[in-house]
Amino acid sequence: MKDQQPQQASAAADELPEELARQFQEGNERAFDKLVFAFRRPMFNLAYRMLNDYEEATDLTQEIFVKMYRALGKFQGASSFATWLYAIAANTCRTRLRRRRRVAQHEVPAFDGVEPAGTDEPGNPGPRPAASPSELLQRKEIRQLVQDAVATLPLDFRPVIIMRDIQGLSYEQIALSLGCSLGTVKSRLSRARVMVKERLERIYRKNATP
Amino acid sequence: MKCQACRRLLSEHMDARLGEEKKKELLEHLAGCAACRSEYEQLEQAVALVQGLEEVAPPADLLEHVHHRLRKEERRRQTAWFVFNKPQARIALAAALLIAVCTYSVREFLVPARRHAQSPAYEAPLQDVPEPKAAKPGRELLAQQVARLSGKQERVEQKESPNELAAAPAEAAPPPAPPVVEGERGPAPEGAELGGAIWRQPAAEAEPRLAAQGTRPGLTASEPAEAARADEAPAPAGPAAGRDAGHGAAPRRQAGEQTAPKPDALADRFDAEAQLAEKPVPKAEMAFAAPTEGGAAAEPAPALQKERDAAAAASRASAPVPANIVTITIRTEKRDAVLKTLDEFATKEEPVAASAGGAGREAPGAAADEEAAGELVVRRVRRGHLPGLVVNLERLGKILEIQEPPAPEPAPAASPTAGRTARAKQVPDDLVSVRVRIVAP
């Protein structure tokens, strides 16, 4: 099992996010730009993995940063800025997904092992021909299948596995961001991983049978 | 350790979060259980696939879009707050509220008499009144009369057939009807004040229709006011017209010539009405409308007409206005039922003034004439109850005619508030003398 480094601010290495937040509170609008630049990748990837839609993820990322701008004045520094921002992002994602669930035509189709349509994402694979499981694993489109398996998890389990296995957050950070207990995080993460495994196994079996 | 407990710990073991003791137990179980070991390997593979998902690059112009969105939301907030944030806007809002409060206060407190007159008791009988849009031909007259009495103008009919309204004065003249006693006459209150809510309408709408009916024969010779108004109300020509104390049958005049009493004279009119209602009018002072029994109308002499016009012009300004009288002619054989209906609608505080052929005679001398043609019963009812009375009477027989005094024209209003005040002052009385002629079938 490889160790993951959390996707954190890359461009703000010289300035901690908490310091940038303090500068913004003192009237430095440029600090906001630096924070957006530092967290644009983790926020966008969280949105993309949650929604499984590039355009909608872009819109959701903008919404997350707009909410951050509005709430930045209330940031007290009780937790790390990353945890605070992830909490905003998780709430925004949850709201968007619930709204999307109410609209039937935008509902993410249930994961049934059927190959989903490709997105406009750069490097998105084309249509997938039938192949053996070993070949399938070697193809890049497996990423899309894994992404689909994650994106079709129930709402309570999706952010946990994304934050832990994709974003590399600790259990404690996830618990703080989602506002739940550490035991809940452990339980949800365990169940989410099992669900992803079962879904991928279903694909393997489906592709293995002639 | 059992397999179920083992599998619950696999995820944590993958992240190296198990304590030493639990980790040891788990490893011992995995060493001895091939199924759990396979499960762990598959789970580890799946997690590795998830962790191997590549990072997706966000759009390069994400920051610009965020700024654009912030500016857009800021503009929206400013637009919403702009109206109430400026001092001028607040002053305007306060002024609008002040005007609204003042308008309400003027309507509520400066017109108390009107408010008292419109108690729920006036509107109660109207609830059972059916729509006067009866399809039966026999009910059309009733519907029109009810609408007139109530002041409700049937605008739909006017819109559909404007020519009919123009021809109304000639057509609505009393047909060969039995003689109708027209003692005191006074201008009726405007239609808007006649009764319940469903009967209300602006006076400006009710006025022309009432005037255009042209069905108000008769006048009194006793008072200058009646003489003055005699030329305003057309009297049907006939033999009885000559009895009208020297007045011939009045030629029909234009509806618009009816003059409105000045608001200042309304108090006097009110008192005059009360006095007239309390005391019976002597026969000698009464004038009778001429029955048009198929005879040709007698043309009035030009000299007499001029004299009457001059007298009317002289007395118009200072004439006290007589009481309101509505005459209903009904053909029925249910005399007792009519009397009972009248008593039901009669005011308790205002005893029956008189009745000819009934309990009492209004004018002893008039009994012979009245009884010859029919029975005359007089009651005082509230004007708001009048439509209900008409409808109830209609159930007992065929209403041949309904005559009511003309309504006064509203005083010209300088402003909307002044107009309302003037209209309110024009309500002289909500008690009406109803004379019901019962004609035997």
- Long-range pairs for B108-111 at CB < 8 Å and ≥24 separation? B110/B421, B111/B420, B111/B421, B111/B424
The angle at the Cα of B293, spanning B367 to B371, to the nearest 5 degrees, equals 15
Write down the pLDDT at residue B216: 40
Does B12 have pLDDT greater than 50? yes
More confident residue, A186 or B198: A186
Residue of B nearest to A33 (CA): B63
Q: Are the Cβ atoms of B54 and A186 closer than 8 angstroms?
A: no
Q: Which one of A1, A37, A200 has the shortest CB-CB distance to B49?
A: A200
Does B167 have pLDDT greater than 60? no
Q: Each residue of B94-106: pLDDT tens digit?
A: 899 999 999 888 8
More confident residue, A53 or B237: A53
Write down the pLDDT at residue B392: 87
Would an 8 Å CB–CB cutoff place B70 in contact with chain A? yes
Mean pLDDT of B185-193: 40
Would an 8 Å CB–CB cutoff place B54 in contact with chain A? yes
Would an 8 Å CB–CB cutoff place B4 in contact with chain A? no
What are the tokens at B187? Answer: 């201008």
Output the average pLDDT for chain A: 80
Q: Are the Cβ atoms of B51 and A61 closer than 8 angstroms?
A: no
Chain A positions touching B10 (Cβ under 8 A) are 190
Residue of A nearest to B54 (CA): A143
| Predicted confidence band of residue A11 (pLDDT cuts 50, 70, 90) | very low
Would an 8 Å CB–CB cutoff place B97 in contact with chain A? no
Would an 8 Å CB–CB cutoff place A67 in contact with chain B? no
What are the tokens at B325? Answer: 């009288």
Q: Each residue of B335-347: pLDDT tens digit?
A: 888 888 888 888 7
Q: Which of B378, B353, B385, B361 is nearest to B434 (CA)?
A: B378
Nearest-Cα distance to chain B for A146, in Å, is 6
| Predicted confidence band of residue A137 (pLDDT cuts 50, 70, 90) | low
Does B199 have pLDDT greater than 50? no
More confident residue, B406 or B43: B43
Q: Among the listed ranges A41-55, A108-122, A172-186, which one has the minimum average pLDDT value?
A: A108-122
Would an 8 Å CB–CB cutoff place A200 in contact with chain B? yes
Q: Each residue of B221-256: pLDDT tens digit?
A: 344 444 334 344 343 434 333 344 334 333 444 444
Chain A 166-185, CB below 8 Å of chain B: which residues?
A: 166, 171
Write down the pLDDT at residue A60: 94
Alpha carbon separation from B120 to A59, B195, B197, B198 (Å, rounded): 62, 10, 10, 13
Q: Among the listed ranges A40-54, A58-72, B298-312, which one has the minimum average pLDDT value?
A: B298-312
Chain A positions touching B48 (Cβ under 8 A) are 1-2
Would an 8 Å CB–CB cutoff place A138 in contact with chain B? no
Write down the pLDDT at residue A195: 94
Would an 8 Å CB–CB cutoff place A40 in contact with chain B? yes
Write down the pLDDT at residue B400: 86
Q: Are the Cβ atoms of A44 and B56 closer than 8 angstroms?
A: yes
Biggest distance spanned by C-alpha atoms of chain B: 139
Would an 8 Å CB–CB cutoff place A96 in contact with chain B? no
Write down the pLDDT at residue B317: 41
Does A59 have pLDDT greater than 90? yes
Would an 8 Å CB–CB cutoff place B376 in contact with chain A? no
Nearest-Cα distance to chain A for B16, in Å, is 10
Q: Which one of A4, A146, A186 has the shortest CB-CB distance to B49?
A: A146
More confident residue, A185 or B135: A185
Would an 8 Å CB–CB cutoff place A44 in contact with chain B? yes
Write down the pLDDT at residue B76: 82
Strongest mean pLDDT among B274-288, B372-386, B397-411: B372-386
Q: Each residue of B354-372: pLDDT tens digit?
A: 444 443 334 333 333 444 4
| Predicted confidence band of residue B434 (pLDDT cuts 50, 70, 90) | confident
Q: Among the listed ranges A86-100, B44-58, B381-395, which one has the minimum average pLDDT value?
A: B381-395
Chain A positions touching B7 (Cβ under 8 A) are 194
Q: Each residue of B400-429: pLDDT tens digit?
A: 888 877 655 554 544 455 445 444 444 445
Would an 8 Å CB–CB cutoff place B19 in contact with chain A? no
pTM: 0.43
Query: Which secondary-structure segment (H or E) carries B175?
Result: none
Q: Which of B346, B328, B334 is nearest to B391 (CA)?
A: B328
Q: Cβ-count burial of A106 within 10 angstroms (0-12 exposed, 13-18 middle, 19+ buried)?
A: middle
Mean pLDDT of B73-86: 74
Alpha carbon separation from A122 to A118, A119, A129, B439 (Å, rounded): 10, 8, 20, 101
Does A122 have pLDDT greater than 90? no
Q: Which one of B46, B48, B56 has the shortest CB-CB distance to A45?
A: B56
| Predicted confidence band of residue A54 (pLDDT cuts 50, 70, 90) | very high
Q: Among the listed ranges A74-88, A134-148, A168-182, which one has the minimum average pLDDT value?
A: A134-148
Q: Are the Cβ atoms of B62 and A121 closer than 8 angstroms?
A: no
